[in-house]
Structure formats: structure tokens, C-alpha cells
Amino acid sequence: TSNDEFFHTQAPLTFIVFLISFHRGIPGKKCGTIILTAEELSNCRDSGTMQFCANKLDKKDFFGKSDPFMVFYRSNEDGTCCICHVNHDFIGDFTTSYRELARGQSQFNVYEVIPAFSPFTCVSRGNPSQSTSLHYMNPYQLNAYAMALKAVGEIIQDYDSDKMFPALGFGAKLPPDWRVSHEFPLNGNIENPYCNGIEGILEAYHQSLKTVQLYGPTNFAPVVNHVARYAAAVQDGSQYFVLLIITDGVISDMAQTKEAIVNGAKLPMSIIIVGVGQAEFDAMVELDGDDIRISSRGKLAERDIVQFVPFRDYMDRTGNHVLSMARLAKDVLAEIPDQFISYMKSRGIKPNPAPPPYTPPGHTHHHTQI
């Protein structure tokens, strides 16, 4: 309706809210139907009361004003949505979550409605040119993503021999056709996505913010499957792959990501998830699987391959400096050794024999037996 609406639910919801316009009805006749579909979760008793208002909506009639009408789409665990179908004029849409709405009225709970005809507006993680975005390109300091990438990257890069890292982005529209991609090279080179060291990744990341348009949904499964394809090709123990994901905690394909992780648990790979920002990271904790082993389609993961670290726990109050690199390094790498060894043992792969001791030229190695 054109007035503020209240909605009460007993289940945690992810909302995709569409604003649509319809012609004024004829008095005495039915003008439309609202269908509410609810899915109750036995382990959740959260409830919320929400109030919505909209300003400067697009006019869909040549004469007269907009007649806004809201439809709620609920995201299910299997990736589908419970929707309410209405046959009215589409104005635009935005995506949010129950957790975000529960924060109450603030500057972070103001959303731009994306018109149906415009493919160029940034709706995922905020516009990098605005200070409210975690991707904000501040000329004087690193943003949250870059800070996490630099700190964590400098910890794990020493375990790679050539310091050449393939770096991927997900959740953006790419030129020239502006299609949404969940698996694109940060350096823009599909044939060679490798970056030279952490500085090379940072450079590619900053450059990509100038060329792509951040856009939802946020899908993890494509990048997990991307690494899994490489790992599946080398299962003789000669290589082990570690995927580092830096995220604000929003995920749109939980079911598909769980399935990808369960499949990846059979391969020589691990996943480190670093959470940035002040959001709740319940979904990331679930993927970590420390308390409850992750499962998909009734099948448990063969082993735990995910480690989640909330980056804010290691920052000072200003959010600009890491308090303890040593503690961050310890927690980031905490599970990798056991995950590596568990894979090798499960496949019966033993360490290569130690190389013979080095003997300088012109010297004879003497062996003394006691």
C-alpha cells in the first residue's frame, strides 16, 4: 500500500523487496491478492516488527503518482524463494536481510531502489565511492577488505614458493555487457588471473573497483568449485590448495556452498574465511563446522576444511590497526596443518624421503659409527 506497512514473523527472513505500482482499482471490486508463505524453524523464536516508507519512487503512469505495493521474497536454504506473485507495474527492487533490518532506523537501513531499466547502479556491499561501503576507496588509508587482505595475505604468502596467486572476485557486473559474475579475475585477465604477491593482488583489487559494478547476490559456491577443480587434478600429494575468502558475511547460496565444501573435503584443499565489518557472522561460523560438521543432502563432510576468522577481533578501537599480528597468524593458520595431514593420511600419502645432507665440493663426507 502507499502507507507504511508492518510485518511480523516468527522466522528469520532474508528479504528481496520489490516495489511495484498498480492502477487504482474500481470501488467494490477486488483489486489484488497478497499471498504470505511462511516457513517455521523449530529452533528459532525471533520476531520482528518493521515499518517501511519510500521516497521519490519512479512514476509508472504518464499522469498521476506512483501507487507503491510491496512483495516479500523469502530466501530458502535450497536457494529457492517463496514469493508473492502480483500482476502490477514493476518499479524496482533492493535486497536486504532480517538481520540488517533488525538494527533499526539508521543510515545503513536506507536502500536505493534499482529501476528495472538501469543495469549500472551498485547495490552489493555499497558504492566504493561512498564512505559507508566496506569497499570505500579512501585515498588516505586501506579499506576493510584491503586491510584484511594485506594482513592475512602476508601471513600465508610465505607458504607459496613463487608468490604468484590467482585472485578472483565475485558478486559484480562486468563490462562490456554488464552481466553479473560470481567468478572473475581481479586483474581482468581470464587467461592469466595470477597476481605477483600480496601487493599485486591489492593493485588488482583497487583497479577492479574502478571497472566493475558491485552487485548481488553474493554466491560463494562458484569460487569454491573453481579451486576444487584445480585440486581434483592433483591428488597425488604433490600440491595442496588453500582458498582465502574475504567477506562481509552475506551469503546468498548457503545450500550450494555447503555442497561445494562437502565435495571439496575429499580433495587436497582448505578454505580460510576472513570476515570484515561489524555484521553477525552466523553463516560463516556454520560453514566453519567446528561445533557441527557441515553436511549437504544428508552427507557429512569427510573432514573439516574451513577455518573462519572475524578480522575485527584483532583490530584496535579505531579499526585501522591490527593489535597483534602474531595472534592473527596463529588463528588464521590454526587448523591448516591438521587439515593437510588428515588429507594425506586418508589417502595413504607419506612424506618424501629427506634429501641427503649437503656436502661442499671438495669435501669427503665421513660417517662415524659409535
- How does pLDDT run across 53-64, given as a tens digit for each residue? 666 665 555 445
Q: Please indicate whether residue 260 or residue 21 has the higher confidence score (pLDDT).
A: 260
Reported as a pLDDT band with limits 50, 70 and 90, residue 324 is: confident
Domain residue spans in the chain? 98-347
pLDDT, tens only, 178-211: 888 989 999 999 999 999 999 999 999 999 989 9
Higher pLDDT, 14 or 257: 257
Q: Enter the C-alpha cell of residue 68.
A: 507503491
The one-letter code for the residue type at 180 is V
Residue 37, exposed/middle/buried by CB under 10 A (0-12, 13-18, 19+)? exposed
Beta bridge pairs of residue 310: 275
CA distance 106 to 104: 6
The most confident of 8-17, 188-197, 309-318, by mean pLDDT: 188-197
Assign 345 to helix, strand or coil: helix
- The three cell numbers of residue 59 are 512514476
Nearest to 97 by CA among 88, 89, 108: 108
- pLDDT higher than 80, residue 326: yes
Q: The domain 98-347: what is its CATH number?
A: 3.40.50.410
pLDDT band at 303 (very low <50, low <70, confident <90, very high): very high
Q: Evaluate if residue 84 carries a pLDDT over 50.
A: no
pLDDT at 222 over 50: yes
Longest dimension (CA), the chain: 107
**pLDDT at residue 12, as a whole number:** 38
Distance CA 236, CA 87 (A): 57
Please report, as a single letter, which amino acid is at residue 290.
Answer: D
Q: Which of 252, 196, 209, 247 is nearest to 73 (CA)?
A: 252
Residue-averaged pLDDT of the chain: 75
pLDDT tops 50 at residue 339: yes
User: Given phi > 0 = left and psi -120 to 50 = alpha, else beta, which region is 300?
Assistant: beta
Residue 357's Cβ-side half-sphere holds a number of Cα atoms within 13 Å equal to: 6
Task: Tell me the pLDDT band of 252, cut-offs 50, 70 and 90.
Answer: confident
Pick the closest to residue 125 from 90, 81, 170 (CA basis): 170
Q: What pLDDT is recorded for position 323?
A: 81
Alpha-helix residue ranges (DSSP H) falling in 233-335:
254-264, 282-288, 325-332
Mean pLDDT of 125-144: 77
| CA pair distance 83, 74, nearest whole angstrom | 7
Query: CA separation (Å) from 93 to 17, 111, 234?
Result: 6, 9, 44
All three cell numbers of 75, joined, read 530466501
Instruction: Please report which confidence band the pLDDT of residue 300 belongs to, taking 50, 70 and 90 as the band edges.
Output: very high
pLDDT bracket for residue 257 (50, 70, 90): very high
Instruction: Tell me the helices (H) and strands (E) count for the chain, helix number first.
Output: 8, 19
Q: Which of 154-158, 261-265, 327-331, 349-353 has the highest mean pLDDT?
A: 261-265
How far is Cα of residue 253 from the mean position of the Cα atoms in its chain? Answer: 9
Exposure b/e, 92-109, CB count within 10 A at least 16 = b: bbbbbbbbbbeeeeeeee
pLDDT value at residue 328: 87
Q: How far apart are the C-alpha atoms of 75 and 39, rounded to whole Å?
A: 10
Residue 23 pLDDT exceeds 90: no
The more confidently predicted of residues 319 and 2 is 319
User: Is residue 122 over pLDDT 60?
Assistant: no
Residues 22 and 68: their CA atoms lie apart, in Å, by: 7
Closest CA to 229 of 168, 174, 296: 168
